[in-house]
């Protein structure tokens, strides 16, 4: 075994302890009461990067949560990788469904449970530990590295684009590296070449100026909860197709060759559906489950609220109703064009007697890259060294807003999306976990990735 691999093997347990220190910081970007925790997490990470020997490691203020930046440019003549990750996490609620507290990490059966364990602190730490191993065993990295860790990914990366544009001159690189995606199975490493985009909206329906007795007023004025239900019911048909006019106009059809490639992937549809725990699969006719997940756009209600939802019954006609509705987009859908079409459609579905607000909360265009590029070849070599099976090339249904921003700030720059999540990680849900086999295998993979990128 080489010194690098030996070092990685010998320090496994401490790598978990080090990650745990970061997982204990509740850096929930969506909630203003956790603003200080986000700042604390950014400063903590900047300190960790400094300890690793990275230079210029700092927490940079933005109008929102800070961006962590660090670099190491001691390999002249070698390629420069720009590593992106996020230190913010999703809210942990509902808390009563967690078997152990979300910000008190514990290992059980080879799995590390905590909010952020896999999304994305654990995957950021794979890189920190790979850097450590290179530094400790050879006093240097095989490539130049620039690191950007943001604190607003889970809320749409509102302030990151401005940071990237302002700092553009110091962010020159040859390849972008991101670890915030998944494997295709526990022993099946994967490289992601496509992500869906996102359009996140909120619909607010207001009726009477205050809650009313539903006997004294019911039937005489419009009920905003009923009106909202009518709108939501009009967004998708019974077959699962989105009914917003023009929604599919710019959707590229899946080519026969890509279909064949997707069909040949070792995607375990049964395991995927079993993980969902849904009584039956459901989706657009004429598409496989994998195609529905990665290559077709969709629309989902993420939450809705109105009226009385407590114990027992209450006869009330609520004055207000609202819903959060998000759409996953695919090439070449444009979120701005679609928001206009969406708002128009929602207004057309409004019943008389209510007023509407339709809000564009945040959006991100879809992203894809050439799966045959040379940087991906280097990543495939790295994964072949670290795992028993060669990497699968996959598309993901999730979104990472910065990828489209990079396409603009670094036009034509290849990206390696090398992620180690699993379907049963409970990402964004209670009992999020990172399998230690993924954490350690991922750390080894990215340590090798730096070496393979150095070979060009
Ligand atoms: N890491 C995920 C993205 C992801 C999820 C990639 C599943 C591959 C598979 C990321 O942290 C995330 O959750 N992104 C949000 C973005 C949104 C808030 C704009 C998402 O996809 O919901
Ligand atoms: Mn993530
Ligand atoms: Mn996420």
- Counting every residue written for the chain, the total comes to 456
* Strands, sheet with 111-113, edge to edge from the N-terminal-most edge strand: 106-108, 111-113, 433-435
Give ligand 1 pocket residues (Cβ under 6 A).
119-120, 153-154, 156, 180-182, 198, 364, 396, 398-401
Rounded CA-CA distance 152/194 in Å is 21
pLDDT of residue 377: 96
Residue nearest to atom 4 of ligand 1 (CA): 398
Residue 234 Cα to ligand 1 middle (Å): 26
CB-facing half-sphere around the CA of 36: CA atoms within 13 A: 1
Which of 251, 236, 178, 147 shows the shortest CA–CA distance to 399?
Answer: 178
Q: In 222-354, which ranges are E strands?
A: 298-306, 316-317, 320-329
Residue 178 Cα to ligand 3 middle (Å): 13
Verify whether residue 172 is a known catalytic residue: no
Catalytic choice (37, 48, 88, 154): 88
Per-position pLDDT tens, the chain of length 456: 999 999 999 999 999 999 999 999 999 999 999 999 999 999 999 999 999 999 999 999 999 999 999 999 999 999 999 999 999 999 999 999 999 999 999 999 999 999 999 999 999 999 999 999 999 999 999 999 999 999 999 999 999 999 999 999 999 999 999 999 999 999 999 999 999 999 999 999 999 999 999 999 999 999 999 999 999 999 999 999 999 999 999 999 999 999 999 999 999 999 999 999 999 999 999 999 999 999 999 999 999 999 999 999 999 999 999 999 999 999 999 999 999 999 999 999 999 999 999 999 999 999 999 988 889 999 999 999 999 999 999 999 999 999 999 999 999 999 999 999 999 999 999 999 999 999 999 999 999 999 999 998
Question: Would you call 120 helix, strand, or coil by DSSP?
Answer: coil
Testing ligand 1's pocket by substitution, the residue of 150, 180, 394 carrying the most ligand atoms inside 8 A of its CB is 180
Q: Is the peptide bond before 152 cis (omega within 30 degrees of 0)?
A: no
Q: Which atom of ligand 1 is nearest to the CA of 401?
A: 19
Which secondary structure element, helix H or strand E, spans residue 435, and what is its range?
A: strand 433-435
Four-residue CA torsion sign, 112, 113, 119, 124: negative
* Strands, sheet with 197-206, edge to edge from the N-terminal-most edge strand: 298-306, 320-329, 197-206, 355-364
Q: Give long-range contacts, CB 8 A cutoff, 24+ apart: 281-288.
A: 282/240, 283/240, 284/239, 284/240, 284/241, 285/239, 288/262, 288/263
Residue 85 Cα to ligand 3 middle (Å): 11
Verify whether residue 153 is a known catalytic residue: yes
Q: Are 115 and 431 in contact (CB under 8 A)?
A: no
Q: Which tokens is 69 given?
A: 């930046």
Q: Which atom of ligand 1 is nearest to the CA of 328?
A: 21
Testing ligand 1's pocket by substitution, the residue of 398, 415, 432 carrying the most ligand atoms inside 8 A of its CB is 398
Residue nearest to atom 5 of ligand 1 (CA): 398
pLDDT of residue 47: 98
Q: Which tokens is 228 given?
A: 């909202």
Nearby residues for ligand 2 (ion, Cβ within 5 Å): 119-120, 180
DSSP track, 190-253? EEEEEE-EEEEEEEEEE-SSS-EETTTTBTTB--HHHHHHHHHHTSB-TTS-B-STTTTTTPPP
CB-facing half-sphere around the CA of 343: CA atoms within 13 A: 15
**In degrees, to the nearest 5, what angle opens at C-alpha 442 toward C-alphas 436 and 382?**
150
Residue 119 Cα to ligand 3 middle (Å): 5
Q: Which atom of ligand 1 is nearest to the CA of 180?
A: 1
Nearest ligand by distance to the CA of 425: 1
Rounded CA-CA distance 233/6 in Å is 58
In degrees and rounded to multiples of 5, residue 90 shows phi and psi of -75, 155
Any bridge partners for residue 416, and if so which? 177
Q: Are 150 and 82 in contact (CB under 8 A)?
A: no
Testing ligand 1's pocket by substitution, the residue of 192, 197, 365, 399 carrying the most ligand atoms inside 8 A of its CB is 399
Residue 178 Cα to ligand 1 middle (Å): 12
pLDDT of residue 456: 82
Catalytic choice (153, 291, 343, 423): 153
Any bridge partners for residue 82, and if so which? 146, 176
């Amino acid at each position: 075994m080489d010194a690098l691999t030996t070092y990685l093997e010998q320090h496994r347990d401490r790598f978990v302890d080090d990650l745990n220190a970061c997982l204990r910081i509740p850096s929930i970007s969506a909630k203003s009461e956790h603003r200080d925790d986000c700042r604390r997490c950014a400063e903590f990470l900047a300190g960790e990067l400094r300890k690793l020997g990275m230079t210029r490691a700092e927490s940079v203020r933005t109008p929102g949560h800070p961006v962590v930046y660090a670099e190491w440019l001691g390999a002249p003549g070698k390629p420069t990788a720009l590593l992106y990750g996020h230190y913010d996490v999703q809210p942990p609620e509902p808390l009563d469904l967690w078997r152990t507290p979300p910000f008190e990490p514990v290992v059980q059966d080879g799995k590390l449970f905590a909010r952020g364990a896999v999304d994305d602190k654990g995957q950021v730490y794979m890189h920190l530990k790979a850097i450590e191993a290179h530094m400790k065993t050879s006093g240097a990295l095989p490539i130049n590295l620039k690191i950007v860790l943001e604190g607003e990914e889970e809320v749409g990366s509102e302030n990151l684009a401005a940071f990237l544009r302002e700092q553009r001159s110091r962010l020159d690189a040859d390849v972008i590296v991101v670890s915030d995606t998944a494997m295709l199975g526990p022993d099946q490493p994967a490289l992601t070449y496509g992500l869906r985009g996102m359009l996140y909206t909120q619909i607010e329906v207001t009726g009477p100026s205050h809650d009313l007795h539903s006997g004294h007023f019911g039937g005489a004025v419009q009920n905003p909860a009923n009106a909202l239900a009518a709108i939501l019911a009009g967004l998708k048909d019974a077959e699962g197709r989105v009914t917003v006019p023009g929604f599919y106009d710019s959707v590229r059809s899946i080519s026969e060759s890509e279909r064949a490639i997707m069909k040949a992937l070792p995607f375990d549809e049964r395991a995927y559906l079993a993980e969902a725990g849904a009584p039956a699969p459901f989706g657009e006719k004429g598409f496989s489950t994998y195609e529905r997940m990665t290559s077709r756009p969709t629309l989902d209600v993420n939450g809705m609220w109105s009226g009385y939802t407590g114990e027992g019954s209450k006869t009330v006609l609520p004055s207000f109703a609202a819903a959060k509705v998000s759409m996953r987009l695919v090439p070449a859908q444009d979120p701005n064009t679609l928001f206009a079409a969406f708002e128009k459609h929602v207004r057309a579905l409004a019943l008389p007697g209510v007023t509407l607000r339709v809000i564009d909360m945040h959006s991100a265009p879809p992203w894809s890259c050439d799966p045959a590029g040379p940087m991906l070849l280097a990543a495939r070599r790295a994964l072949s060294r670290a795992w028993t099976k060669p990497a699968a090339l996959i598309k993901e249904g999730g979104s990472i807003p910065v990828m489209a921003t990079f396409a603009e700030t670094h036009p034509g720059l290849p990206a390696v999306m090398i992620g180690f999540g699993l379907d049963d990680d409970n990402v964004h849900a209670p009992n999020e976990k990172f399998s230690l086999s993924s954490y350690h295998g991922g750390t080894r993979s990215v340590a090798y990735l730096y070496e393979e990128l150095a070979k060009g």
